[in-house]
Amino acid sequence: MPPRPTYALALAGVVRRYSEGESALEILRGVDLAISQGQSVALVAPSGSGKSTLLHIAGLLEHSDEGEVFIAGRPTARLADAERTRIRRQHIGFIYQFHHLLGEFSALENVAMPQMIRGLSHKEANARAKDLLTYLGLAARLTHRPSELSGGEQQRVAIARALANAPRLLLADEPTGNLDPKTSDHVFGALTELVQATGVAALIATHNLELAGRMDRRVTLRDGKLVELA
Ligand SMILES: Nc1ncnc2c1ncn2[C@@H]1O[C@H](COP(=O)(O)OP(=O)(O)OP(=O)(O)O)[C@@H](O)[C@H]1O
């Protein structure tokens, strides 16, 4: 028998309910998904269909009510919160619609910080942060604070920060949703290039079908289940 592939992310039978008064609203009704290392997947689904919920569960920020989430082959549902946090820090990078950078720190510091939290020296963390920011065209913006950067630049710093710890899995929730079409296109181009260059697995929620077309696969949520699109 061939060896079972180890997916960067695998979801099996994921169910999530929210209580609504007396009744329960079932948002995810048995979601299955497997993403290999190096593969990029766009999640294109209507507002309110459960995209953010799914990303939070995949990123171990939220628990599912049923089902299992495997990160790099390891089941996580029954792990203690401290261990889930450790796995998240080690293996997962996040990009949100709004950059969530720390306002009092420079671009370089924002990208270096997660690496120092993981134990890298100041020098190593700064060197990697500088490389990533330079790759993203921000070599002349290293010492700028977020408020001194444009929206597209802020989002590129957020991309660098998400990839700073060389995660296996990148999760992004409308990463260009806050940008004008031209900047969005530019930032998305930088993101897809880095996804390819680093070999990270990526699950990216977007409303933009053209941008989704540049990913390896496209999936949607239909009646709480994940469906593969052409
Ligand atoms: N904590 C919560 N308690 C109750 N209901 C919730 C909670 N979080 C989300 N929901 C509901 O679950 C549904 C899915 O929400 P979610 O944010 O995952 O959708 P989405 O597809 O990301 O939407 P959008 O594209 O608008 O961001 C929505 O109807 C929302 O109101």
pLDDT in tens, 32-65: 999 999 999 999 998 889 999 999 999 999 999 9
Q: How deeply is 19 buried, as exposed, middle or buried, from its count of CB atoms within 10 A (0-12, 13-18, 19+)?
A: exposed
Residue 23 in contact with ligand 1 by CB distance below 6 A: no
Mean pLDDT of 68-95: 95
Residue 147 in contact with ligand 1 by CB distance below 6 A: no
* 73 CA to centre of ligand 1 in angstroms: 28
pTM for the full predicted model:
0.92
Mean pLDDT of 66-81: 96
H-helix segments, 59-121? 81-91, 107-117
Packing angle, helices 181-198 and 151-163, rounded to 10? 20
ipTM of the complex: 0.94
* 107 CA to centre of ligand 1 in angstroms: 31
